[in-house]
């Protein structure tokens, strides 16, 4: 990608990487007959929904706003799940979603009479199986508010439920999926064997487009499960749909020294890549190394807000940095533009798309009004 014309800070989505990712999901749908939905909470850049909807079967949404955007711009199947529904938005969601999944039996009982007859009903189950060590991203830890436990299901008649949602993974490979399926069978085989259960949604967190992920094994697991229980599998990945399909471009504003060299850049971990602080992790930077290399020029990169901890990380460069240099953070499509803020009044990054024919197109830019409207 030629990023010289990008006005920083900016997210630049790489259309060809996105389409290659989508082809992998399509191949899984074709090989298994399962359905793949985009989890829009990871990526809601609707200008590329027409491209994504050529390959995927629909969207899964975690709020009325996400669902409305998806029904307007993506079409196809629109699912919604939320930890709990607000009565007003629930009624509106019923009009635009073909599938509604409930987090608890009490929510289902509270709302079931309001649901249109043609709407499919899902129930989130919690297999209490942990594949994610980081508690922030681990939905099935003890104390989790997500999903119905086996012991709570026992006395309830769930004959009005059409399918189940089990989201237990985050950033996992096919070995985790295999163990999750064992746990699901152990906990819920009676439930999913029932005739009225037509689909089992295995949630997101499948890193299907990551290098080294065994797609054939994933298909084999899906096929075996579908045949055994006579259900259709649904996957609803977010992160892996846009994995490596976008960068965050910024530039160096100043360089200061305090026990080390520190470059201040025109973006922010806190405002523009909050997972860097939340996880925390140090993102890859094009042309730089995170390791402390000999004979290299090492800098801490800090964001342009007044938060002391707005630090992206430390990197080694072959040459000294100069004011105005452009820097490119990798893999910045997922959980970035949907989570960014105008903290400190820093401007939101522009959004560009780098088309397959090499054309760089500005999709959106932001300014003072976007800040003022939110506060």
* Closest separation in Å from C-beta 236 to ligand PLP: 4
Residues making contact with ligand PLP (CB under 6 A): 39, 41-42, 60, 81, 167, 170, 203-205, 236-240
Kind plus residue range of the DSSP H or E element containing 84: none
Cβ neighbours of 10 (radius 10 Å): 23
Nearer to ligand PLP, 73 or 236 (CB): 236
Query: Whole-angstrom Cα distance, residue 355 to residue 64?
Result: 30
Nearer to ligand PLP, 187 or 304 (CB): 187
Nearer to ligand PLP, 170 or 327 (CB): 170
Q: Judge contact between 172 and 205, C-beta under 8 A.
A: yes
* Closest separation in Å from C-beta 336 to ligand PLP: 12
* Closest separation in Å from C-beta 320 to ligand PLP: 38
Nearer to ligand PLP, 4 or 133 (CB): 133
In the complex, which residue's CB is closest to ligand PLP? Answer: 204
Q: Judge contact between 29 and 57, C-beta under 8 A.
A: yes
Q: What are the DSSP calls for 158-216, one per residue?
A: -TT--EEE----SSB-HHHHHHHHHHHHHHHHHHHTSTT--EEE--S-B-TTSTT--HH
* Closest separation in Å from C-beta 237 to ligand PLP: 4
Nearer to ligand PLP, 36 or 353 (CB): 36
Nearer to ligand PLP, 208 or 285 (CB): 208
Query: Whole-angstrom Cα distance, residue 290 to residue 315?
Result: 5
Strand, coil or helix: 13: strand
Nearer to ligand PLP, 192 or 208 (CB): 208
Radius of gyration of the chain (CA): 22
Please choose, from the candidates 259, 284, 288, the residue with its C-alpha nearest in 3D space to the C-alpha of residue 273.
284
- For residue 16, CA distances in Å to 52, 190, 272, 338 come to 12, 43, 23, 21
* Closest separation in Å from C-beta 352 to ligand PLP: 22
Structure tokens at 182: 């064992």
* Closest separation in Å from C-beta 368 to ligand PLP: 32
Provide the residue count of the chain. 375
* Closest separation in Å from C-beta 137 to ligand PLP: 8
């Amino acid at each position: 990608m030629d990023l010289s014309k990008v006005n920083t800070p900016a997210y630049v989505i790489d259309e060809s990487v996105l389409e290659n990712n989508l082809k992998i999901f399509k191949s899984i749908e074709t090989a298994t007959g399962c359905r793949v939905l985009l989890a829009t909470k990871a990526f809601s850049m609707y200008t590329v929904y027409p491209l994504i909807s050529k390959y995927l079967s629909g969207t899964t949404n975690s709020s009325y706003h996400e669902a409305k955007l998806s029904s307007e711009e993506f079409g196809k199947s629109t699912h919604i799940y939320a930890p709990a529904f607000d009565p007003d938005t629930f009624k509106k969601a019923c009009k635009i979603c073909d599938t509604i999944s409930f987090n608890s039996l009490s929510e289902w009982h509270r709302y079931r009479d309001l649901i249109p007859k043609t709407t499919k009903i899902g129930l989130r189950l919690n297999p209490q199986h942990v594949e994610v060590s980081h508690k922030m991203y681990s939905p099935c830890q003890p104390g989790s508010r997500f999903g119905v436990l086996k012991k709570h299901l026992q006395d309830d008649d769930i004959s009005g439920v059409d399918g189940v949602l089990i989201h237990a993974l985050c950033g996992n490979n096919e070995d985790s999926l295999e163990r999750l399926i064992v746990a699901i069978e152990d906990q819920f085989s009676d439930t999913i064997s029932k005739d009225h259960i037509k689909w089992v949604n295995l949630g997101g967190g499948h890193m299907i487009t990551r290098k080294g992920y065994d797609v054939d094994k994933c298909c084999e697991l899906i096929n075996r499960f579908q045949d055994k229980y006579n259900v259709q599998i649904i996957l609803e990945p977010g992160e892996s749909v846009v994995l490596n399909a976008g960068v965050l471009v910024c530039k160096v504003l100043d360089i200061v020294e305090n026990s080390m060299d520190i470059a201040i850049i025109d973006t922010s971990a806190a405002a523009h890549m909050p997972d860097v602080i939340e996880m925390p992790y140090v993102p890859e930077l094009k042309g730089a190394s995170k390791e402390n290399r000999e004979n290299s020029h090492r800098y801490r990169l800090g964001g342009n807000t007044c938060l002391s901890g707005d630090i992206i990380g430390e990197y080694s460069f072959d040459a000294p940095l100069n004011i105005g240099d452009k820097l490119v953070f990798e893999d910045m499509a997922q959980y970035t533009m949907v989570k960014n803020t105008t903290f400190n009044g820093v401007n939101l990054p522009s959004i560009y798309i780098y088309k397959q024919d090499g054309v760089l197109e500005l999709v959106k830019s932001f300014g003072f009004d976007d800040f003022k409207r939110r506060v």
